[in-house]
Chains A and B, each alone.
Chain A
Amino acid sequence: MKIKTISRSSDTYIAERNTDESRISRNLNPALHPFERAREYQKALTATKMERMFAQPFVGQLGDGHRDAIYSIARNFDSLNKVASGSGDGVIKYWNLKSRKELVTFKAHYGRVSGLIVTPNGRLLSCGHDKTIKMWSVNDEDFKQQAKKLKQYDDNEDEESDFDDDESSDEEEEAGNELENGFMNENEINSSNGLIKTYLGEHSFESIDHHFNKDLFVTGGAQIELWDSNRSKPISNLTWGADNITTVRFNNVETSILASAGSDNTVILYDIRTNSPTQKIVNTLRTNAICFNPMSAYNFVCASEDSNVYGYDMRNMKRSTNVYKDHISAVLDVDFAPTGKELVTGSYDKTIRIFNVNEGHSREVYHTKRMQQVYCTKYSLDSKFIYSGSDDCNIRIWRAVAWERTNVKSTRERNKLEYDAKLKEKFKFMPEIRRISRHRHVPIGIKKDSEKRQIQTQSIKRRENNERLHSKKGSKPFKSEREKHIVANTYK
């Protein structure tokens, strides 16, 4: 007779000392794990609730700097924690996001700074309604020394400036002085000291963008012009059509392609290799901003005045690839995450929304009591944060994923988060989980308006459908939402 029993030694399972980890033994036999699915569901539900509990999107603000609405934010592609901002009173600032302090401030233009960009070699290019484009140095090391010098030798200010400010005019000096007297304190660096170059244009400028790696930049205004940063005059004029150009944007992947949007409701694509525009679409309403997908060169999105964002494939612009709806007022800016999977929009309805590229409705909406119309939104280069500039003179920093934290996590914590993410994905269609994860508190005005809008669109849809049903077959063809807004598409 063979007889054997289970013989476990407690020594193998119990830790000898308090500091030791006790042994974990696993047995994956499903019989030992009852209610597998129900427990997973419960965990998913808990995780969803935790997600909403931890959702604190607002990180911080760069509040004390600007005295007017912020119209442009520019990122430095070489440095994660620096951004530049331009405001309505012509001041541009360069910020260190870690300390949330401004590194440099320039009184750049009369009127608002309509365009601002950080060039690949780390300089600022700004344009304004005063018909000038200015190039600024933001090398803060230089400025620190200069600041000291400024303090020590206040009298001979001219000598220490070792930048070639050949174009500096009386006006700028005046502006600088004004700035100095007005609101600069001692530690800050002012005005025209960082000015490297001024380009004089023939018309006021509405927008500017720099080539990804060459010394070229493009400006939009009454004309769309291509500039070489080493020359004082534009090297070519790409204008197609008569009206004002409000937005220009280079493609950062297919670097010689650029797009512009004009106040005649057009979106035009150009190729600087042939030095000419290639195709044009006319929309029903104006386009406020354009952004190319950083991961797929032929996709881009346009923020439209009709409160939608339209995604396009430049190979076929007869219809848009996607329509991103949810805003209830004009969308003023749009930016792709560096991953190319999400996009952030800022709108006149005082909210910021984040869209998944493949979905039509936003996955997230950010707003605060004090945030006014959002003029510009940008993703940070690690796609973890969002910068927004708004009418209330404030730059705000938001988390791209509201419940995520960037701190270093232990393996256990990371595993837990990954496990929870998988569970949430698995049970995302369950009614309770979907309700909790989708719920957002929005201001009453926005809520009411969006409800009203929904009713309006439904009634329009119904009416169109009825018209179609009661008219001659084929006389009122169905037009999909994705091509409704496109009036014309032409090639050159």
Chain B
Amino acid sequence: MSLSKYDRPKTVSKASKNPKDKRVRAKLKRLDDSYKNAVKEAQNTEILLQESAGLMETETEMEKTFKVTQKDIKDSVDESMNRKAIDLKLTEYGPYVFDYSRNGRSLLLGGRKGHVASMDWQYGKLHCELHLNETVNAVKHLHNDQFFAVAQKKYTFIYDKLGTELHRLKQHIEVKHLEFLPYHYLLATAGNTGFLKYQDVSTGVLISELRTKMGPTISMKQNPWNAVVHLGHSNGQVSLWSPTMSKPLVKILNSRGSVKSIAIDRTGNYMACTSTDRTLKVWDIRMFKELNYRSLPTPGLSCDISDTNLLSVSFGPHINIYKDIFTNDHKDVKLYMHHLNAGSKVEMNKFIPFEDILSFGHENGVKNIIVPGSGEANFDSLEINPFESAKQRQESEVRTLVNKLKPDMITLDPNVIGTIDKRANTTRLTAKDLAELTNKQREVGANDVKMDILPKVKGKNSSLRRHLRKKSKNVIDERKMRVESNLKREKELRAKIHAKKNGTFKDEENDLLNPALSRFG
């Protein structure tokens, strides 16, 4: 059977597919058939899709797609598309960071020097404009365009669409990066403090504070497939976090320099990282294997992966867009497009959802460039609808709130829920087996207790040692002798434990004099 994109990963093992019981077998077969049917019917709905994706193809050998300039593209696409390629010149408060709402309709700008603006960028309608007189580090839309969060100099604030300050999140201090997990309604923040904090924006509860212990967080991105947050650190590591675990789920050593930016594709299969050691690395985050590697002329400041798996990376005033980079064949990587934003360093770049446009913020504003074939052409209006009415927005808000996922459902495999925990041997063993097993364990445990040597082994600065240190060396009194003998005993015991760990422990012939008598020996 060919694997289509509608196929789900199998959760049933082969062995359990052919159970002995006739009824169970029939039921499983029925389930399997209905699943196959569903996949087939989902495939058949493809002919109903309205829109076709964009593309840019060469017609002769000599033509190269990366030589095509924005002017060429603008000449060959229609007027409505040209209008979307906006160029906002904002010279005073840059450099700019920005964020698009989930449906790509609302643009939120944040100038480093305190300029925040929210607008419908397609109609050029400004919702609000704020001058905060304070550094703005990051901006983020929440679940829709009605609310947004701004990471300012010290605190993080939440504003509504009209710019009214709603909340000051005083627990989120010196935040540099914001992420919003839409299905869990969690706002994740990270920054100079080295803490990763999750705040539930529907209830206002701080879900968890995780200490990364890796210094200031340099970069941050959520995996849209499983809501795991990836943090990039100055030691070149990328750590993966879930709010219920105090330690990272995974740590990846990405590069020698600090990880400047992270991008993850929508199916959660691939991750791209840029680093100060001028590398661009592509990872398969199912296997945690490096797939591909590019070195850039200068360190890449930001990168993003589009819905159609184009990878954009910005370094200095340049933006490179790669196609087919998610393979482990280095020759296969094609530079798809290149753009030079002359005279102004690119701060961040991002593909606009459901559009063939890459947006980037630079020192003097925000600019859109057309990248044919970068957007998902067919949206699902029941999921994210770029054309939603106010009514639809309200309804979907209620629906998503009702079906809000719990923070402890964030795992590396998002489909783990509802499956059998194969580690739980109690589900597989019969009562008899279980009793046997526990008995055995009890026996082993009892032996362990007998074998365990538990000396009061103290560290380097134990009180005994301190006493010895402080005492003048040449005076021998009763206390000093006692301390020395105790220390000696501890040392022996420690050696014994060490030997046991190494497996070189030999049970010496028992001392005939037991400890009570040994002092006379």
Assuming A1-B63, A2-B57, A27-B376, what are 7 further A-B pairs, CB within 8 angstroms? A3-B73, A4-B77, A5-B373, A25-B49, A27-B49, A36-B8, A37-B417
Binary B-proximity of A8-46 (CB < 8 A = 1, otherwise 0): 111011110000001111111111111111111111001
B80, CB-defined interface residue at 8 Å: yes
Q: Which of A4, A24, A30 is in CB contact (< 8 Å) with B6?
A: A30
A80 at the interface (CB under 8 A from B): no
Residue of A nearest to B225 (CB): A34
In the complex, which residues 158-189 of chain B have their Cβ closer than 8 Å to any Cβ of chain A?
A: 183
Whether A6 contacts B227 by the Cβ 8 Å rule is no
Known contacts A34-B414, A35-B227: does B267 contact A3 (CB below 8 Å)?
A: no
CA distance A37 to B267 in the complex (A): 14
> Which of these binds chain A: B210-218, B279-287, B400-408, B501-509?
B400-408
Contact of B58 among A1, A24, A427 (CB under 8 A): A1
CB pair A38–B409 under 8 Å, yes or no, is yes
User: Does B132 count as interface, using CB distance less than 8 angstroms?
Assistant: no
- A43 CA / B384 CA spacing, docked (Å): 18
State A34–B222 Cα separation when bound (angstroms): 13
Give me 27 A-to-B residue pairs in the complex whose CB atoms sit less than 8 angstroms apart, sorted by A's number: A1-B56, A2-B56, A2-B58, A4-B52, A4-B56, A5-B78, A6-B354, A6-B355, A6-B375, A6-B377, A13-B387, A14-B387, A22-B389, A28-B6, A28-B45, A29-B378, A31-B266, A31-B307, A32-B384, A33-B383, A34-B183, A34-B266, A34-B414, A36-B415, A38-B409, A38-B414, A430-B418
Bitwise, B381-395 to A at CB < 8 A (1) or not (0) is 111101101001000
B9 to chain A, nearest CB (A): 10
A32: nearest chain-B partner, CB-CB? B380
- Note all chain B residues with C-beta closer than 8 A to A7: 51, 77-78, 80-81
Mark contacts of B56-98 with chain A using CB atoms, 8 A cut-off: 1 yes-contact digit, 0 otherwise: 1111000101001000110011101100000000000000000
B248 at the interface (CB under 8 A from A): no
Whether A25 and B77, one on each chain, are in contact in the complex, defined by CB atoms closer than 8 angstroms, is no
- CA A427 to CA B419, docked complex, whole Å: 10
- Expressed in whole angstroms, the minimum distance between the Cβ of B55 and any Cβ of chain A is 5
In the assembled complex, the Cα of A37 lies from the Cα of B226 at a distance in Å of: 11
B57, B389, B403: which contacts A43 (Cβ < 8 A)?
A: B403
Chain A residues within 8 Å of B, Cβ to Cβ:
1-10, 12-15, 22-43, 46, 426-427, 430
Q: Are B224 and A34 in contact, CB atoms less than 8 angstroms apart?
A: yes
B380 near A3: Cβ-Cβ < 8 Å: no
Q: Is the CB of A4 within 8 A of B372?
A: yes
Answer whether residue B450 sits at the interface, using C-beta atoms and an 8 A cutoff: no
Contact residues in A for B45 (Cβ distance below 8 Å): 26, 28
Contact A39 B53 (CB under 8 A): no
Q: Which residues of B contact A (CB under 8 A)?
A: 5-6, 8, 42, 45, 48-59, 63, 65, 68, 72-73, 76-78, 80-81, 183, 224-227, 266-268, 307, 354-356, 370, 372-373, 375-384, 386-387, 389, 392, 402-406, 409, 414-415, 417-418
Q: Are B56 and A23 in contact (CB-based, < 8 A)?
A: no
A26 to B41, CA, bound (A): 13
Given contacts A4-B372, A6-B356, contact A427 B380 (CB under 8 A): no
Q: Which residue of A lies closest to B371 (CB)?
A: A5
Beta-carbon contact of A35 and B414 below 8 Å: yes
Q: Which of A29, A35, A37, A43 has the most CB of B within 10 A?
A: A35
A25:B379 contact, CB within 8 angstroms: yes
Closest to B55 in A: A4
- The 10 residue pairs across chains A and B that have the minimum distance between CB atoms: A13-B387, A5-B54, A5-B356, A27-B378, A27-B380, A2-B57, A28-B42, A37-B415, A3-B76, A42-B403
Which B residues touch A22, using CB under 8 A?
A: 387, 389, 392
Instruction: Tell whether, in the assembled complex, residue A38 and residue B405 are in contact, meaning their CB atoms are under 8 Å apart.
Output: yes
Q: How far is the CB of A435 from chain B (nearest CB, A)?
A: 15
Q: In the docked arrangement, what's the CA distance between A14 and B405, Å?
A: 30
CB distance from B317 to the nearest CB of A (A): 24
* CA distance in complex: A5, B75 (Å): 12
Chain A residue with Cβ nearest B123? A10
> Given the complex of chains A and B, what is the CA–CA distance between A38 and B412 in angstroms?
13
Interface centre among A10, A25, A42 (most CB of B within 10 A): A25
| Residues of chain A contacted by B383 (CB below 8 angstroms) | 32-33
* Chief secondary structure at chain B's binding surface: loop
Chain B residue with the shortest CB-CB distance to A10? B387
Report the separation of the CA atoms of residues A28 and B46 in the bound assembly, to the nearest whole angstrom: 8
* A14→B392 CA distance, assembly (Å): 11
Chain A nearest Cβ from B61, distance in angstroms: 12
Q: Using CB atoms, name the residue of chain A closest to B402.
A: A46
B372 contacts across to A, CB distance below 8 A: 3-5
Q: Determine the distance from Cα of A39 to Cα of B81 in the docked complex, in whole angstroms.
A: 35
CB-based contact A39/B379 at 8 Å: no
Partner of A1, one of B51, B68, B392, B406: B68
Which of chain B's residues has its CB closest to A426's CB? B418
Do residues A32 and B379 form an inter-chain contact, with CB atoms below 8 A? yes
A31 pairs with B54, CB closer than 8 A? no
A33-B380 contact in complex given A3-B56, A14-B387, C-beta closer than 8 Å: yes
- Picked from B56, B226, B380, B405, the residue with its CB within 8 Å of the CB of A26 is B380
Residues B387 and A5 in contact, CB atoms below 8 Å apart:
no
| Residues on the B chain within 8 Å of A12, using CB | 50
Which of A8, A27, A40, A42 has the largest count of B CB atoms less than 10 A from its CB? A27
Residues A25 and B403 in contact, CB atoms below 8 Å apart: no
Note all chain A residues with C-beta closer than 8 A to B80. 7, 9
Q: How far is the CA of A14 from the CA of B122 in the complex (A)?
A: 15
Give the residues in chain A near B417, CB-CB below 8 Å. Answer: 37-38, 41, 430
Minimum C-beta distance from B377 to chain A (A):
5
Cβ-defined contact, A30 with B8, below 8 A: yes
Closest B residue by C-beta to A8: B51
A25/B414 in contact, CB under 8 A = no
Residues of A within 8 A of B354 (CB): 6
Closest Cβ–Cβ distance, residue A207 to chain B (whole Å): 38
Q: B54: nearest residue on chain A (CB-CB)?
A: A5
**CB-defined contacts of A43 to chain B, threshold 8 Å:** 403
A3 to B386, CA, bound (A): 24
Minimal Cβ-Cβ distance residue in A for B381: A24
A1 contact set on B, CB distance < 8 A: 56-59, 63, 65, 68, 72, 76
- If A26-B382, A35-B414 touch, does A14 touch B356 (CB 8 Å cutoff)? no
Residues of B within 8 A of A35 (CB): 183, 226-227, 405, 414
Residue of A nearest to B44 (CB): A28
A31 near B55 with CB under 8 A, answer no
Contact B418 A37 (CB under 8 A): yes
B381 touches A46 (CB 8 A): no
Closest residue of chain B to A7 (Cβ to Cβ) is B78
> A48–B384 Cα gap in the complex (Å)?
26
User: A161 to nearest B CB, angstroms?
Assistant: 61
Q: Say whether B55 contacts A30, CB under 8 Å.
A: no
Contacts of B73 in A (CB 8 A): 3
Q: Which residue of B lies closest to A22 (CB)?
A: B389
Q: Which of A2, A9, A15, A26 contacts B55 (CB 8 A)?
A: A2
| B393 → A minimal CB distance (Å) | 12
**A4–B384 CA distance with the chains assembled, in angstroms:** 24
**A41 CA / B52 CA spacing, docked (Å):** 33
Interface centre among B52, B355, B356, B387 (most CB of A within 10 A): B387
Chain A residue at smallest Cβ distance from B416: A37
Task: State the CA gap A426–B35 with chains docked (Å).
Answer: 13
A6 touches B54 (CB 8 A): yes
| CB-based nearest B residue for A12 | B50
B379 touches A27 (CB 8 A): yes
Q: With both chains docked as a complex, state the minimum distance between the C-beta of B429 and any C-beta of chain A, in angstroms.
A: 18
B76 CB to closest chain A CB (Å) equals 5
When distances are taken between beta carbons in the complex, the residues of chain A under 8 Å from B48 are 26
- With both chains docked as a complex, state the minimum distance between the C-beta of A356 and any C-beta of chain B, in angstroms: 15
The residue of chain B having its C-beta at the shortest distance from the C-beta of A9 within the complex is B80
Residues of B contacting A36 with CB < 8 Å? Answer: 8, 415
| Structural contact, A39 and B356, CB atoms closer than 8 A | no
Q: How far does the Cβ of B383 sit from chain A's closest Cβ, in whole Å?
A: 6
Complex interface: chain B residues within 8 A of A34 (CB) = 183, 224-226, 266, 268, 414
Residues of A with C-beta under 8 A to B55: 2-4
Query: With a CB–CB cut-off of 8 A, which chain A residues contact B387?
Result: 10, 13-14, 22
